[in-house]
Amino acid sequence: MESVKVFAPATVANVSCGFDVLGFCLDHVGDEIIVHKSPQPGVRITKIEGQKLPLATKENVAGVAAEALLEKYRTDVGFEIEIYKGIKAGSGIGSSAASSAGAVFGINALLGEPFSRDQLIEFAMKGEELASGAAHADNVSPALLGGFTLVRCGKTPDVISLPSPEDLYATIIHPKIELRTADARSVLKKTILLEKGIQQWGNLAALVSALYTNDYDLISRSLVDVVIEPERSVLIPHFNEMKKAALSAGALGSGISGSGPSIFTFSKGHATAEKVQQALIETFSPLGIEFDIFVSKINPKGVQIIS
């Protein structure tokens, strides 16, 4: 195999009460990454379409992730990477993670899979480090493993795959406003009330249980973030109206995707997820802010070779 084309999906991190630990993988929306073997050692980004991003290997998340892999797996083979961005940077659905995950997955495939998907997380995290200053696994884990993933804290990530109920769908709306990650961070307080912490971990534990038991009602009751959402949602215009509209249309619950501005909602069944989409379109259209919106099944597979 001399080249490979990979679909690298968008992902949602910071899933409500699972702030900083729970993420899930989306379908259809993502980047396409083509990796070619090259006789010239090293990694080169040869093409980027869909977004203005740096071609210099060390300034590009995919390049940095790829180099991290090749530091562990020495080879004379080189790699050229083409990136076709389907995810907008700054949208809050794992744009950098998709490119990083796609690049290392493609190279690993061309090398005959010396690493497992789990092992690739560490390399893709290097891309995240470039993008945000912190080598977090919140988005690269679901991008590589698919489904829901839980990242237990620690510098060496302890990533646990959780099951996804068959009928669980996400509706994602991306209001096209600029939300600086620095602002999203600065609104967070360093301390929280113990009482709120207890509510949060009770809700997250219940949510994890609900994923194992396909308990949609429990997903709905437990998808409550009492710690981060009250602080961050003020940065997203009309957040509460959107939430209300989604719930009225039958959504199980909603939350901020990543650090925003995208918002995810969960629904049981595709039809309800589309109703929620319609309700969000009706709520958002009159506001004069551009937006993207789509419905996605929880993608159980993660990054995949498409040709």
Lookup: tokens for 115? 């690493």
Does residue 233 bind its own copies (CB under 8 A)?
no
Q: Which of 128, 265, 272, 283 is catalytic?
A: 128
Lookup: tokens for 67? 């180099």
Range 1-30, binding its own copies (CB under 8 A): 17-22
Residue 83 · residue 31 · CB < 8 Å: yes
Q: Is 109 exposed, middle or buried (0-12, 13-18, 19+ CB in 10 A)?
A: middle
Nearest alpha-carbon partner for 149 in 137, 157, 159, 135: 159
Does residue 188 bind its own copies (CB under 8 A)?
yes
Among 192, 214, 244, 292, binds its own copies (CB under 8 A): 192
Does residue 287 bind its own copies (CB under 8 A)?
no
Residues whose CB is less than 8 angstroms from the CB of residue 274 and which lie 6 or more positions away in sequence, other chains included? 171, 295
Does residue 194 bind its own copies (CB under 8 A)?
yes
Residue 47 · residue 82 · CB < 8 Å: yes
Residue 163 · residue 212 · CB < 8 Å: yes
Applying CB under 8 A, the span of 92-100, 116-124, 150-158, 255-263 interacting with its own copies comes to 150-158
Does residue 236 bind its own copies (CB under 8 A)?
no
Does residue 155 bind its own copies (CB under 8 A)?
no
229 catalytic? Reply is: no
Does residue 190 bind its own copies (CB under 8 A)?
yes
Does residue 189 bind its own copies (CB under 8 A)?
yes
Query: Closer to its own copies at the Cβ: 215 or 292?
Result: 215
Which residues in 3-41 are b (16+ Cβ under 10 Å) and which e? Answer: bbbbbbbbbbbbbbbbbebbbbbbbebbbbbbbbbbeee
Applying CB under 8 A, the span of 31-39, 185-193, 235-243, 270-278 interacting with its own copies comes to 185-193
Applying CB under 8 A, the span of 4-12, 87-95, 179-187, 199-207 interacting with its own copies comes to 199-207
Closest approach of its own copies to the CB of residue 198, in Å: 5
Contacting residues toward its own copies, per CB under 8 A: 17-22, 150-153, 158, 160, 162, 188-195, 197-209, 212, 218, 221-222, 227
